[in-house]
Amino acid sequence: MRHRFLAAAAFALGGIAASAAALAGPTVDKIRARGELVCGVSQGSAGLSLPDSNGRWSGLDVDYCKALAAAVLGAADKVRFVPVSSAQRFAVLQNGEIDVLSRNTTWTSTRDASLGVSFVGTIFYDGQAFMVPKKLGVTSAKQLGGATVCVQPGTVNEQNLVDYFSANGMKFKSVVIESLPELESAFYAGRCDVYLSDASTLSASRASRAGKVEDFAILPERITKSPLSPVVRADDAQWFAVARWTLNLLIEAEELGVTSANVEAQKQSKNPSVQRLLGVSPGIGKAFGLDESWGARVIASVGNYGEIFDRNLGPATKLGLERGQNALWNKGGLLYSPPFQ
C-alpha cells in the first residue's frame, strides 16, 4: 500500500513538474503574443547601444536583446529598442513598458534589494573614470580639486563622485544633465572640466563625439567596480531564468569554441557539453519553456560572447578595447558560466 502511495505521489509530482516546465511564464507569453521583444537601451553609447543614421541599433547591449529575441521568438530582428535615460530606466521597466533593460546599468545591493527588479548577470565588467581635455594638463584624478564635473542624475556615478572627492579632501562643482547627448555636448563645448562615467562610456564618447580623439584623456584611476548587467522585473522567475541563461549561453559557447560560423558543424561534436548546448542532447529547452534548438539559434544569430565583444568593442573597432576582465576565466578574465546540465 505504502509503495503504491509513493509511486502515485511521485507520478503526480512528476506530472506537475513536467507541465510547469513546459509552460512559458507571463512575460514570454506577452512577448510572443506581441510578436516582438521590447528592449530598453541607452540614449546612445557607441559599442553598447547606438543607432545609425537609418535607426539601426548596434552594440553589446543590443546584441544581448537580439539573442533574447532569437531564443524566445525565433528571430533576432524581432526587437523594438526604446532609448531611456538613466533617471527613467527603472520606472520604465517596473511599469512594464519594456521587457528587459539592457542599458549599461551597474549592479548594486540597493538596486537589487529595493526596486523589485532582478539583475541577470554581469555582461561587462567596467569601472568609473574621469575624462578631461588634455589642455588642462591633468594626469591624475587627484589633481581635480575645484573642477567642474558633468554627471547624469540618478546614477551610481553621481554618488561615487561625491564619495571620491570627499575621501580625497577635494571640492568640486557638478553640472547635472539628464540627457546623455546633452551632457556630452556640454562637456565638449567646455561647460565643464570633467566628464565622469564608466570607462567604456567615456571611450565610446571620445571615439564618436570628440572631434579630435587626441585632445582628450581618460585618467588612469578607476574609482569603482562597475559590473554592468541586464535587468528584468522580479515578478516572473521563468523570464528571469531565460534572460540569465541566454547570457550564460553566450559565454559558454565561447569557452566551448562554438561560433556563428561553425554552429551547424558543431552539432556533430562528440563533446557532451556541446551536444547539450546545441540541443542535440535534449534537456535544456523544456525547463525554460523553449524548444531544444534555442541555443543553436541564438549562436547562429549573434555569435558567442567573444564575437559580440570583438564586433562592438574590440581592438578592431574605434573603441579599441582589450578583453581584460571581460576575458574568459581560463584566459585571465572573470567571465564564467555555470554548467548547462
- Classify residue 279: in a domain, yes or no: yes
Looking at residue 24, its pLDDT comes to 63
Nearest to 296 by CA among 321, 315, 269: 269
- Classify residue 291: in a domain, yes or no: yes
- Classify residue 183: in a domain, yes or no: yes
Residues 192 and 133 in one domain: yes
Banded model confidence at residue 200, pLDDT cuts 50, 70, 90: confident
Looking at residue 23, its pLDDT comes to 58
Domain of 197 in residue numbering reads as 127-225
- Classify residue 262: in a domain, yes or no: yes
Looking at residue 10, its pLDDT comes to 40
Residues 111 and 89 in one domain: yes
- Classify residue 18: in a domain, yes or no: no
Residues 205 and 248 in one domain: no
Residues forming beta bridges with residue 131, ordered by sequence position:
195, 218
pLDDT, tens only, 98-142: 999 999 999 999 999 999 999 999 999 999 999 999 999 999 999
Q: Is the dihedral of CA 306, 311, 315, 319 positive or negative?
A: negative
Percent of the chain at pLDDT exceeding 90? 76
Residues 262 and 241 in one domain: yes
Residues 184 and 37 in one domain: no
Residues 216 and 239 in one domain: no
Residues 141 and 103 in one domain: no
- Classify residue 186: in a domain, yes or no: yes
- Classify residue 303: in a domain, yes or no: yes
Residues 151 and 116 in one domain: no
Residues 89 and 221 in one domain: no
Residue finishing a domain among 182, 202, 225: 225
Q: Is the dihedral of CA 13, 16, 21, 25 positive or negative?
A: negative
pLDDT, tens only, 35-88: 999 999 999 888 999 999 999 999 999 999 999 999 999 999 999 999 999 889
Q: Domain with 151 in it: what CATH number?
A: 3.40.190.10
Q: How far apart are CA 73 and CA 263, in angstroms?
A: 19
Looking at residue 18, its pLDDT comes to 40
Distances (CA, A) of 80 to 31, 38, 99, 236: 11, 5, 10, 21
Q: How far apart are CA 84 and CA 95, in angstroms?
A: 13
Q: How many domains does the chain have?
A: 2
Residues 112 and 238 in one domain: yes
Residues 138 and 192 in one domain: yes
pLDDT, tens only, 276-320: 999 999 989 999 999 999 999 999 999 999 999 999 999 899 888
Residue 334, phi then psi, degrees to nearest 5: -115, -5
Residue finishing a domain among 186, 210, 225: 225
Looking at residue 201, its pLDDT comes to 85
Residue finishing a domain among 192, 225, 258: 225
Region 327-339 average pLDDT = 96
- Classify residue 139: in a domain, yes or no: yes
Residues 159 and 200 in one domain: yes
